[in-house]
Amino acid sequence: MMLERNRIHPRPDLCRLIGPNRRQVSVCLTAPFGGVLASSRSPDGANDDALYYLDIIKSLSSSQLRLHYVAYRALHQIVLADDSLKRFNVGQHNEVKNLIVCLPQLPLDRMRINLDLDFEILFRRGLISTYKTHSEELSPTELLPYATLSASTLGIHLYAVAFNKLREWRLFGKQPVESLYEIPTCELFAPSLDGLKAKIA
């Protein structure tokens, strides 16, 4: 493959492989797409393990990929910080779906994430198990719009792909990974609404 032989950045090949209908190639696409390519490298060029994830990436908008990254970045940090969560089995859906993150809506709005639409798409693609948007009254004059979601095994796969760690996806939450520095993250998050409110107070 030309991309592998010349060791160039995947951005020039994105439009060709993702399709002509994309008017703009954002970093939210290049990061997971580059991970797909890197995860598929093998000496004989025959490893196509990550191709399924290319179809997922192609089906998502930049805001949907951004939401996926923001959510799983927060989930990853929650698991890293809680030793009791490190014992969960990422290959068991019944355990993974109990990994929950609560995010304030305002930072997501600033990232131009359309929660009503983007959550449903991630859910339909199997990248999250559940989701909810709601508002909590903090005081008679203050509301906290927020969103909660629970993880899925496929969602963890795609997160691992973005870091070229598909073969190590079972280590999710057990070791830190560097952030994709060009993609903004939500710095305020918690595993529950009460935890989020405590951070805001």
- What pLDDT digit, counting tens, does each position of 29-47 carry? 555 555 455 555 444 445 5
Tens-place pLDDT, residues 146-183: 999 999 999 999 998 888 888 888 888 888 777 665 67
C-alpha to C-alpha distance for 31 and 34, rounded to whole angstroms? 5
Q: Where are the beta strands (DSSP E) in the chain?
A: 100-104, 128-139, 142-151
Query: For residue 144, what are its two tokens?
Result: 């906290």
